[in-house]
Structure 1
Amino acid sequence: QVLDIVQTKDLPARLKARAMYILGICSCYQATRHDLAMNRFREAIDFAVSSDDKEALASPLYGAATVLYSRGRYEEALKELSRLEILLSCLAMPELSATAHLLRAMIRRNQGRLEEALEAAWAAYETLKHHPHLVIYLHTLCALGTIYTGKGDISCAKLYLELAERSMKREEFPRIARLVDEALLSVKKCSAAEADLCFDTRTGLLISLTKGEIRFDGQFILRDLLRVFLESPGKVFSKDDLARLVWREDYKTEVHDNKIYVTIKRLRKLLEADGPNGDVILRAKNGYFLNPKVRVMIDDEPVKALSEEI
């Protein structure tokens, strides 16, 4: 009925923009209708532009960014947020400003860019100090907890997640309660394992107990070599194995010997001082292996080392 009114009645463009934005939000809550939600937000943006109303334009820009975020199209979402932030610089819309900062934080977290994620989350928090909003505040605490978990700072992660847990009535905010529960479970797994190396396959980020964040931006071979070792601590990988698993090629002495030597040397340099006596990648008679004494977690799950002697 609302859509029919918007399409058939001679309404102000500003009002049409608002109506289409609300219809877009409704579609967002139907998990399979993101395409429709995006179309509604785009229509709202067009109506807002034609009305030259900046406030009417701000909300659908944020809506479009949330749909792109939910689809994993992070760079496109960031472009929409950049447009929105320019607009918000001349508008008094603190709640939308806080949620825009928060969405940027979650995007950067999912991309593994944790320092930028932390900066954006704290920007949301600062806005909320002057313009309190309980729901956004709880989401921000949860985001801070997950970001600190990614950074390997378990004590900070636990602090913010438990604060969120204590600050809400679970029956009033079931979705936030579920998010906090999931984040606390990850923290508890990390705390229990006390891993030397924690690897996130989604972001490609490695957290070292002694060295903190280790990123592999653009270093796909190095990252793939690391993952091979992390998935099977104590297992010896021959040069033939490494050529096949890392380079996806059949082993040839003249091609792969130097590649393997150089790549393992680079990996050792990144990981040195982790594990007993700083020895992480070890040499066997017929290959290389990850020191089985190094405690490993992949995607919050501990990896069991081979018990056999090398």
Structure 2
Amino acid sequence: MEHSNHTRVTEFIMQGLFDHPHHQELFFGLFLCLYTAVVMGNFPIIVAIVIHPPLHIPMYFFIANLALVDILCTSSVVPKILENLLQEKKTISFGGCITQLFVLTSSLVTELLMLTVMSYDRYVAICHPLHYVKLMRKEICIRLAVSAWAVGTINSFVHILLVLHLDFCGPNLIQHFFCEFPAILALSCSSTYVNEIMMFMADILLVMGNFLLTIVSYSFIVFTILKIQSSKGKQRAFSTCSSHLLVVTLYYSTTIYTYMQPTSSNLQDNDKMVAIMYTLVTPTLNPVIYNLRNKEVKPALTVRFPH
């Protein structure tokens, strides 16, 4: 059988984020400021953790990985948004769309897994403090981080391969402001049954599975903290995981809302607002949360990046 070229569509047209052409310059400035905040907020944290010896402990190693994931996630979406805000015709090439899908999806899954690893780190630190050095030694932390990146990359690669086997021969208007699997599958003129099954399985195994693991970890953490007799001891124990708990809440509240619902629901305007949260707002807030809550990070940033 002769091999056919499945992809006839060479570019996609973005619906865009806002239906107010006369406000494009304002939105461009806003998104540019937020993107700059993401990069300038996360990059100094990575540098400070790498070159400041007191921060060479598991918790900050994972925070550095999380900061890198946030930069990749935002960089996969925002530059193209900024470009389209300055153009009347908002387009993206098929190859560009596939690249955006790959980087964005792998970043989101890696962040999901990294947050789970960080919850395990907090669980060991609070529930098994005497065994923390052994259970969270350097080689184990590296393996956990590499595994998170590997699973995120492999998951995204599998979904991309399935998309590349689809036919795109008709409509090319993406009802979103960036390439996302539900919006792309809606444009295919061939069956997307396998794609949707694989996406559903990934949602269950990765999103809900990691969510349950995080809940279990924090359940043990709460029970352990409640057993502490002194109020000062309880406050000290809770302060070690409060930043991570806040970041987890921000991430899951947007991700679960977006992905654990029917495909057609993902194309509504309110879902675009939620997408802004997990691709731009949350990566902006994460370094702020860790800077404000971690006394060790603030001095390192002050020394390495003085005002």
TM-score by length of 2: 0.24
Name the structure where strand makes up a greater proportion of residues.
1
Higher radius of gyration, 1 or 2: 1
Greater relative contact order (CA < 8 Å, ≥ 6 in sequence): 2
TM-score by length of 1: 0.24
